[in-house]
């Protein structure tokens, strides 16, 4: 089990992340302390066999693609069920899958952790995963995305999304939200689909920072003063109709 580090100041967070958190060594995920591990969204409600997982994922992604084509007139050879680009878009809009969305910006992770903590009346958890020089995780650049079939990967991969779709389609999908959030995706192989990421990847690769609600206000003010970023604006979570549609697809599959 990964023990949380109780922190009450911005400098305390930065120092525990090496002094310069956004230098590229870590990727981040902000949650409330309600969640004691990080696991794929497909397993938040129940476990399935690997065969069942692939069946569910196939139905989910194919339903998502139909929505893209029918509701948004997004066509093309890249709009297929084994395209990582389409999976990244789907996961970003909350379609359940084995893939976990992180952020390269600790301030984004921090803001999400505060928001989720307030919603659930818990403390904030900022998870930091060492992604650089980590033998347990393979790096995949944008040039290698087309070489990967999401149903056939055998290792953990961490991948930056790319601007593949035409500009008019990016606008339809509010694609900028993914890049405002500095999204980056951890791909989890089918064989480890029922195992939380925080259990499979060695504890030494993780840092877990816990922030009590009583410190949210002061840390937010410190962030605004040092980085000139407002922690009160909800720009990161700007709503898009696909958020609702993906949740409806998840509900059909009971995931």
The whole-number pLDDT of residue 27 equals 97
Quick: pLDDT tens for 52-79. Answer: 788 888 999 999 999 999 999 988 777 8
Task: Evaluate whether 246 touches 71 at the Cβ level (below 8 Å).
Answer: no
Residue 201's CB is within 10 A of a number of other CB atoms, namely 21
**Sheet arrangement for strand 100-103:** 5-6, 206-211, 124-130, 26-32, 100-103, 183-187, 156-159, 137-140
The whole-number pLDDT of residue 74 equals 87
* Residues facing residue 125 across a β-bridge: 31, 210
The whole-number pLDDT of residue 44 equals 54
Query: Which residues of the chain fall below pLDDT 70?
Result: 43-51, 233-235
Q: How far is CA 72 from the centre of its chain?
A: 24
The whole-number pLDDT of residue 251 equals 93
The whole-number pLDDT of residue 48 equals 58
pTM of the model: 0.92
Task: Evaluate whether 75 touches 154 at the Cβ level (below 8 Å).
Answer: no
The whole-number pLDDT of residue 170 equals 79
User: In the chain, where are the structural domains located?
Assistant: 5-252
Strands 137-140 and 156-159: parallel
The whole-number pLDDT of residue 47 equals 57
User: How far apart (Å, rounded) are the C-alpha atoms in residues 105 and 36?
Assistant: 21
The whole-number pLDDT of residue 42 equals 80
The whole-number pLDDT of residue 233 equals 64
The whole-number pLDDT of residue 235 equals 59
Strands 124-130 and 137-140: unpaired
Question: Which residues, in sequence order, are CB contacts of 68 under 8 Å at separation 6+?
Answer: 74, 79, 86
Measured CA distances, 26 to 142, 169, 194 (Å):
19, 31, 24
């Amino acid at each position: 089990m990964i023990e949380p580090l109780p922190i009450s100041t911005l400098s305390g967070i930065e120092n525990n992340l090496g002094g310069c958190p956004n230098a590229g060594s870590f990727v981040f995920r902000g949650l409330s302390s309600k969640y004691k591990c990080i696991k794929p969204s497909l397993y938040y409600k129940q476990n399935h066999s690997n065969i069942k997982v692939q069946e569910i994922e196939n139905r989910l992604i194919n339903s998502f693609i139909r929505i893209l084509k029918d509701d948004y007139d997004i066509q093309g050879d890249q709009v297929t069920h084994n395209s990582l680009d389409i999976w990244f878009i789907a996961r970003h809009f909350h379609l359940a899958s084995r893939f976990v969305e992180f952020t390269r910006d600790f301030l984004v992770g921090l803001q999400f952790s505060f928001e989720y903590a307030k919603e659930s009346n818990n403390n904030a958890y900022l998870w930091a995963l060492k992604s650089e020089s980590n033998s347990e995780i393979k790096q995949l650049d944008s040039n290698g995305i087309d070489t990967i079939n999401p149903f056939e990967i055998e290792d953990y991969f961490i991948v930056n999304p790319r601007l593949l779709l035409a500009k008019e389609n990016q606008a339809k999908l509010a694609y900028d939200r993914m890049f405002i959030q500095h999204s980056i995706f951890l791909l989890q192989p089918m064989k480890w689909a029922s195992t939380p990421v925080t259990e499979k990847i060695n504890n030494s690769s993780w840092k877990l920072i816990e922030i009590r609600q009583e410190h949210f206000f002061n840390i937010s003010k410190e962030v605004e003063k040092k980085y000139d970023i407002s922690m009160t604006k909800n720009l990161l979570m700007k709503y898009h109709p696909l958020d609702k549609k993906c949740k409806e697809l998840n509900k059909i599959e009971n995931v």
